[in-house]
Amino acid sequence: MAALRKTSLIAVTMGDPAGIGPEVILKAAAARARRPGAPSLVVIGDPDVMERAAKGQRGVPRLCQWSPGDAAIPLANGIGLLECVRMGSRAPAPGRPNITGGQASFDCVVSGARMALKGEVDGLVTAPISKEWWHRAGHDFPGHSELLAKLARTPTWRMMFGGGQLRIALVTVHIGLAEVAPALTRDRVFQTIRLLADHLKDQLGCSRPRISVLGLNPHAGENGLFGQEEIKIIAPAIARARREGIEANGPIAPDTAFIRQGGGFRFDGAVAMYHDQGLIALKTLEFDRAVNITLGLPFVRTSPDHGTAFDIAGRGLASGNSMAAAIEYAASAAQTRRTNGRRAA
């Protein structure tokens, strides 16, 4: 089905219905509808929740009932709405999450993943969910990526964050700082480099991506003076990547890795050893346009880099910028992937 579409069709899950997901989806859609070449969108969620979020918002494309197999609706004409759930009176009010909403947000992600795996959509964008309310609903997943990897039967995946200037893949993610060094292995670092290189090539169109790999310790270990991880783990992983034709460089001292020379970075993507090492730089540069990307899945998946923000839900205060960036990134990556697929065929 995907091969018959002229433009990308991106599915967006509504996220937790008590959060800002429905609001930022509609704000992002309203902003993108005015831009030429905007992809078609289908929102997977509860029609009542989405209609509630649309009230009082200006310029929001109308919501049109949609099902897999229907012709894609150009964003300028409306947003497709796939009714995945209908909570009725059990739907949570904005800012007041409940188990029903947690279950609904989980079901929407499962539905979107299955659509992406079948090729019914070209990419998947996920609005923020509450890990707490997933757990309360009986789903023990740390987040979207772990669930999507299980559904796609993808054993090796990584979390990446990107914006207009930086793209950073993480070797480790949500673990304590004391756990980072024991978690590093040559294979884990190498797989992160490889997945990032594949993404930059296949979904962003970099013919020969340049990868900078950060060290773990101050001054990248100073030849073992401040730690052995660079010598025993990171450098051998870089050497393996280079043997396999990947232009990987490092270990780079973390405190100088993001210095811009001549107005830009001298790499296409970077590999950071832990969460804050990479994300402090990214969020300092482009906080409201940062996008979360899952590497290694058989389909394009992005999300805005913010949470449910229950404290401001329903008040019209949420920014749609990060969601708009996530949709834009997914559409661009999906189009590049489709183009590369046609060339390979």
SS3 per residue for 164-220: CCCEEEECCCCCCHHHHHHHCCHHHHHHHHHHHHHHHHHCCCCCCCEEEEECCCHHH
Q: Are residues 1 and 150 in the same domain?
A: yes
Q: CB–CB of 281/166 below 8 Å?
A: yes
Domain boundary pick from 271, 292, 313: 292
Domain count, the chain: 2
Q: How far is CA 342 from CA 3, 5, 88, 220, in A?
A: 9, 13, 44, 42
- 261 beta partners: 264
Q: Are residues 223 and 307 in the same domain?
A: no
Q: CB–CB of 50/59 below 8 Å?
A: no
Q: Are residues 213 and 324 in the same domain?
A: no
Strand 158-162 and strand 167-170: the pairing is antiparallel
Q: pLDDT at position 2, please?
A: 41
User: Tokens 């969460």 appear where?
Assistant: 275
Instruction: For residues 17 and 110, give the distance between their C-alpha atoms in angstroms, rounded to a whole number.
Output: 16
Q: Are residues 162 and 150 in the same domain?
A: no
The H-or-E segment that residue 338 falls in is helix 321-344
Instruction: For residues 89 and 217, give the distance between their C-alpha atoms in angstroms, rounded to a whole number.
Output: 53
Contacts by residues 277-280 (CB-CB < 8 Å, ≥ 24 positions apart):
277/214, 278/161, 278/168, 278/169, 278/170, 278/214, 279/161, 279/168, 279/170
Give the residue ranges of the chain where pLDDT is below 50. 1-4, 342-345
Q: pLDDT at position 341, please?
A: 65
Q: Are residues 113 and 44 in the same domain?
A: yes
DSSP class of residue 223 equals T
Instruction: For residues 296 and 290, give the distance between their C-alpha atoms in angstroms, rounded to a whole number.
Output: 19
Write out the two tokens for 288: 């409201």
The pTM is what?
0.92
Domain interval for residue 258: 158-292
Q: Are residues 20 and 149 in the same domain?
A: yes
Cβ atoms < 10 Å from Cβ of 174: 11
Q: Please give the angle made by the CA atoms of 138, 175 and 128, to the nearest 5 degrees.
A: 50
Q: CB–CB of 217/184 below 8 Å?
A: no
Q: Are residues 149 and 164 in the same domain?
A: no
Instruction: For residues 231 and 98, give the distance between their C-alpha atoms in angstroms, rounded to a whole number.
Output: 49
Q: Are residues 24 and 41 in the same domain?
A: yes
Q: pLDDT at position 343, please?
A: 41
Q: How far is CA 86 from CA 17, 18, 138, 245, in A?
A: 11, 14, 19, 50
Burial track 52-91 (b if 16+ CB lie within 10 A, e otherwise): bbbeeeeebbebeebeeeeebbebeebbbbbbbbebeeeb
Could you tell me the CATH number of the domain that includes residue 139?
3.40.718.10
Q: Are residues 288 and 307 in the same domain?
A: no
Q: pLDDT at position 5, please?
A: 60
pLDDT tens track for 7-48: 789 999 999 999 999 999 999 999 888 777 788 999 999 999
Q: Are residues 78 and 227 in the same domain?
A: no
Domain boundary pick from 292, 307, 337: 292
Question: If we measure between CA atoms, which residue out of 132, 87, 142, 82 comes closest to residue 112?
Answer: 82
Q: Are residues 268 and 335 in the same domain?
A: no
